[in-house]
Structure 1
Amino acid sequence: MAKTLISDVIVPEVFNPYVVNRTTELSALYQSGIISTNPELQILASGGGRTVNMPFWNDLDGEDEVLSDTVALTPDKIDADQDVAVKLFRGKAWAANDLAGDLAGSDPMAAIGDRTANYWVRRMQAATIATLNGVFASSSMSGNQIDFTEGGTNAEAKADGNSIIEGSQLLGDAQGGLTAMVVHSRVYSNLKIMRLLEYKVDPATNTEFATFDGKRVIVDDGVPVSGGAYTSYLFGPGALGYADGTPADIQTETDRDKLAGDDILINRKHFILHPRGVAFTSSQVSGKSPSNADLAAAANWDRVYHQKQIRIVKMITNG
């Protein structure tokens, strides 16, 4: 019986959109609304260059004036600023031995596609955490973070209802826009022990998820942990902008090493995953596109939106 090859079941024209769609379906960050996209960002992601400039108008400011029949009003101006997103160029290749078990399925391309999509979900979440590490290491974001541990000395500073509400208060009258949070499993377990969580079912995926005060709770052990101090993030909808670009190279290819008897699947991905309102400065980039280590560098980020317009808050607690 002839062996089924990767090239026999992978049709790039079908495989590529399948992986893109499944990645967003499987991503808790996307399903929670933390990550969102729009047609304009999608167009920019497919254009040339390493970064994308997104000009915006600042809010009108200044005191109003008392009308007078002798003194004219003094015209003020509106200022413009610019947000900057960076494109992430990533890729991965797998040998057929890692995928051979999938070929026994009734729909092998879908099986391989699901495995590929799950892989990119994990890598996107890793890029998200690296980005947040860099964003909040920037001094420009000091107003959007709070440390309840007093430098790690307050053992009672657990994440609870009070600390989450105090963290939300950093956005003042804009705190009602916070709709989700990402926490370490230790923090999640503590909230569960305190019976502060409620559970719902996502109709899109038919999976159960936890909420606190109406906020969806996403568990990711990739968030920073240091000396018993745990970082949690609160988010508003669309806090991160996302778009898939089109790689200049072929997005999906198959190959075969005949001497080794290995089939190879190659998958490339260009995408934008940008914290809205915090510009990427490109001050410290080691290659053609930033690595996760580059994304985590404070020098690469600078807040350009007003503090309350940044729909992300960082909290540090002792569990």
Structure 2
Amino acid sequence: MTRIADVIVPQVFNPYVIERTAQLSAFVQAGIAERDPAFDALARSGGKLLNMPFWKDLTGDDEVLSDTTPLTPDKITAAQDVAALLARGRAWKANDLAKALSGDDPMGAIGDLVAAYWARQQQRVALSALGGVFASASMSGNVHDISADATTPNFVGETFIDASYKLGDAESKLTAIAVHSATYASLRKQNLIEFQMDSNNTQIPFYMGKRVIVDDSMPVSAGNYTTYIFGSGAFALGNGAAPVPTETDRDSLQGDDILINRNHFIMHPRGVAFTNTSVAGATPSNTELATAGNWNRVYENKNIRIVKFVHKIA
């Protein structure tokens, strides 16, 4: 009988899962979550809170040059974004993976299952973080809420443009939207969704030139739906280094093979610092990520490539 320990080689399995997770992540494929070696290094640098310093923009009026009066030097100031390291793990028994073990490439099959799991979890992390970020008063400038308008649907071209221009002249940085399936259905009924084919002949939906991600985890409250509008690289995604990312074990008495997988990573909305104000454990849970008091905006509003659009549908 094939056992998990016979087919899982951690040195091969671990990098495969990381790469495959990125391939299966809608946020990564849409460019919303940016993978970068610098973010990987940050996630491996140690500590629960990871500093991401940046230079503030230059301000003040220019001066008229004079042959008698020197220019007045102004300061270039720095500020700091802060990301939380997320340390997560999951274990599965062989019974859950019995079908995968019967495949021609059992390690690849198990790897795909694990990678798909982490892709879903990372997307849930991102949406949890957005819940906390936009509950923070510091982010009110990036919210367009028309839920008080009784018109249904009120997600139409004009209101979407209004939402996008919460970023002012930085609107062109917005490249993708995440919607609930009910919102997506409403847009399709209005014939507002266009499709493009990718290299695998898979249809990819677009709305006003922006790639569409459909996720039923998107917030819905009292008939009001939330859509997020994103720019490229709105989230920083970095893969850390759990001391033992993958282990196998066996409960001989039960006859169970066990696969254990641990994942250290950052999935950080850039420009909104994690304050760690209310975190009970070593690293934050999704519930704590969704807590308003754990976030504070540090970028200018229009430099944060995320807009929250609250609306009704038919």
Any unmatched runs of 5+ in structure 1?
none
1:222 aligned to which of 205, 217, 225 = 217
2:156 aligned to which of 137, 145, 160 = 160
Distance in 2 between the 1:14 and 1:288 partners? Answer: 29
The equivalent of 1:211 in structure 2 is 206
Distance in 2 between the 1:156 and 1:165 partners? Answer: 17
The answer (yes or no) to whether the contact 2:193–2:207 under 8 Å persists in 1 is: yes
The equivalent of 1:187 in structure 2 is 183
The alpha-carbon deviation at position 70 of structure 1 amounts to 3.3
Given residue 135 of structure 2, which amino acid in structure 1 is its aligned partner?
A: A
The answer (yes or no) to whether the contact 1:54–1:84 under 8 Å persists in 2 is: yes
Distance in 2 between the 1:108 and 1:4 partners? Answer: 9
The within-5 A match list for 1:115-126 is 115-126=113-124
Instruction: With the length of structure 1 as denominator, give the TM-score of the two structures.
Output: 0.96
Q: Stretches of 4+ moved more than 4 A in 1? A: none
The alpha-carbon deviation at position 44 of structure 1 amounts to 1.2
Determine what percentage of the aligned residue pairs are the same residue. 55
The alpha-carbon deviation at position 54 of structure 1 amounts to 1.2
The alpha-carbon deviation at position 157 of structure 1 amounts to 5.0
Please state whether the residue corresponding to 1:53 is helix, strand or coil.
strand
Distance in 2 between the 1:313 and 1:251 partners? Answer: 35
What RMSD in Å do the two structures reach over aligned CA positions?
1.1
The equivalent of 2:91 in structure 1 is 93
Distance in 1 between the 2:188 and 2:264 partners? Answer: 38
The alpha-carbon deviation at position 247 of structure 1 amounts to 0.5
The equivalent of 1:5 in structure 2 is 3
Provide, for residues 92-139 of structure 1, a one-character-per-residue CA deviation record: whole Å limited to 9, x for no partner: 000100001111111011111111111111111110110000010011
Distance in 2 between the 1:212 and 1:54 partners? Answer: 33
The equivalent of 2:304 in structure 1 is 310
The within-5 A match list for 1:101-250 is 101-150=99-148, 154-203=150-199, 206-248=201-243, 250=244
Provide, for residues 269-289 of structure 1, a one-character-per-residue CA deviation record: whole Å limited to 9, x for no partner: 000000111100010112001
Given residue 299 of structure 2, which amino acid in structure 1 is its aligned partner?
A: Y
Given residue 156 of structure 1, which amino acid in structure 2 is its aligned partner?
A: T
Aligned residues: 313
The alpha-carbon deviation at position 206 of structure 1 amounts to 4.5
The alpha-carbon deviation at position 202 of structure 1 amounts to 2.7
The alpha-carbon deviation at position 66 of structure 1 amounts to 2.1
The answer (yes or no) to whether the contact 1:149–1:157 under 8 Å persists in 2 is: no
The alpha-carbon deviation at position 63 of structure 1 amounts to 1.1
The alpha-carbon deviation at position 260 of structure 1 amounts to 0.4
The equivalent of 1:255 in structure 2 is 249
